[in-house]
A and B are shown apart, each in its own frame.
Chain A
Amino acid sequence: MEATQVYWEDVEIAQEIPTLVKHPTKLQLLMWGGAVDDYNPMHADHEVATGAGYPAPIVFGPLIFAFLEQMLTDWMGIEGWLRKITIRHHAPAYPEQDVICKGWITNKYVEDGEHYIELQIQADYPNVEKGTTGTAIVVLPPKAQAHPLPSAEPISDCMWLRIR
């Protein structure tokens, strides 16, 4: 992964940041539950999910949250800082379907010497008018504060499971 950096001067209001498409699988839900110790059967047990009024086990809301965070950190580069993120889930997502994460710039300003970018973000799921929506605040460096970017080749990606 070649190191790139976006600077505060590079972004304009209404500009869209790169879309991130994720595909949460049933396996990924098991991994998430095990990693955070969340064994809520809503996300694994068909009978419990349908008993609660859903057609099938649902994707963890915090996992959708993490997808949106990845979209932001992928875009902002290693010199950026994710300062705040707020989201609301309007409908559940189901595994084995695409979750399409999008964002666009709504404001940029300087405050107490820090260069802030505000964004509108959302995660779209199939067959749902509104999935997850929210806002984020990212601190980006101005070009005057640019640091040299890492030159080392990251270690092999072979440790990663094939999760998009």
Chain B
Amino acid sequence: MTQADAVLEVMKTWVGEEETPPPYEVEKGMMMKMPWVVGDPNPLWRDEQYARQTRYGGIIAAPCFVEFLRFRYYSTYGRTTTPVIRQDLPGRPANVVGGEEVEYFRPIRPGDVISISCRTTDVKKRWSKGLNRDVVIQTHEQVFTNQFGELVATHKSTHIKT
């Protein structure tokens, strides 16, 4: 049995199980920090005086803020439960993001409380030409809803366990 086979055997047990990390109350500073890290100076993400004149009436989260939201599942900071993704896999493979898909439905504002639902939807083994070995590819989905029960965004990602 190769390491990839052993990893696949463990990860198959994750498929379909829903995990719900604690809801996240959107902090204005964190909303502004994400585009700052990216180097995106768009004032809609940080300047209230400017944003007040737009149809949003105030600053909203930049699209990259969903990257912060989706890491609430992976992060152990501030959590009392450990996500299954933090379980040690056989051989402790490295993780690389293969691809992402995000759909945006509504703006995110300071003070919004975002509920998060996560699920592994698929795992499979593939040969990696670049790394010259088998790797395991996991597809993971997250759904974000606000305090009004409105769908805010969805995030799908593929992770390559090398």
Of the candidates A31, A35, A89, A160, which one forms a contact with B98 in the assembled complex, judged by CB atoms under 8 Å apart?
Answer: A89
Of the candidates A31, A37, A79, A84, which one forms a contact with B101 in the assembled complex, judged by CB atoms under 8 Å apart?
Answer: A84
Q: How many A-B residue pairs have CB under 8 A?
A: 143
Report Cα–Cα, A92/B97, bound state, in Å: 10
Is B101 in contact with A86, judged by CB distance below 8 angstroms?
A: yes
Q: Mark B96-109, 1 if CB is under 8 A from A, else 0.
A: 11111111100000
Of B2-10, B11-19, B66-74, B112-120, the one touching chain A:
B66-74
Q: Which of B46, B96, B98, B162 has the most CB of A within 10 A?
A: B96
- A86: chain B residues within 8 A (beta carbon): 99-101
Is A82 in contact with B100, judged by CB distance below 8 angstroms?
A: no
Instruction: Check: B33 CB closer than 8 A to any chain A CB.
Output: yes
Residues of A within 8 A of B (CB): 1, 22, 28, 31-32, 35-38, 40, 42, 48, 51-53, 58, 60-63, 65-67, 69-70, 72-74, 78-79, 81-89, 91-92, 134, 147-152, 154-155, 157, 159-161, 163-164
Residues of B within 8 A of A (CB): 30, 33-44, 46-47, 49-51, 53-55, 62-64, 67-68, 71, 74-75, 77, 94-104, 130-132, 162
Q: List 6 A-B contacts (CB under 8 A).
A: A53-B162, A62-B97, A73-B62, A154-B50, A155-B46, A161-B36
